[in-house]
Amino acid sequence: MKRFLMLAALSCATGAYASYALAGDSMSTMSMAMNPPPSSKTGSDAALTRAEVVDVDAATGMVTLKHGELANIGMPAMTMAYRTKDTMLAKRVHAGEKVRVRVENIKGTPTIVAMVKAAS
């Protein structure tokens, strides 16, 4: 009886390992790259989101934006203060202006990397 139980346990363990190995093997050819969804926009505006400048602190390079969805970083539309990659970006805009921005996660911090004034 002991022999039967040992063989049954060994069989179950081997079967579980074999199915784990097969699952791992079948997934080895899958691409795990995480890419943002393709954009329907073309040209230089493909990565820019419409926004309105709410406040600017040029000394610290912080700009508060009321913006649409930032799909590339998975952020919904909201009003939030962002650090700028270059403080000169903050010095070029004023509260109330309409802009188009590109925000990216830099070292875990959402950061404005591009900002252009929108056409009136």
- Model pLDDT for residues 51-105, shown as the tens digit of each residue: 999 999 999 999 999 999 999 999 999 999 999 999 999 999 999 999 999 999 9
Least trusted range by pLDDT, from 13-27, 41-55, 73-87: 13-27
Handedness of CA 41, 48, 43, 93 (dihedral sign): positive
Res. 47 pLDDT band, cuts 50 70 90: confident
Q: Which CATH code is given to the segment(s) 47-117? A: 2.40.50.320
Can you tell me the distance from the alpha carbon of 13 to that of 41, in angstroms, rounded to the nearest whole number?
53
pTM of the model: 0.62
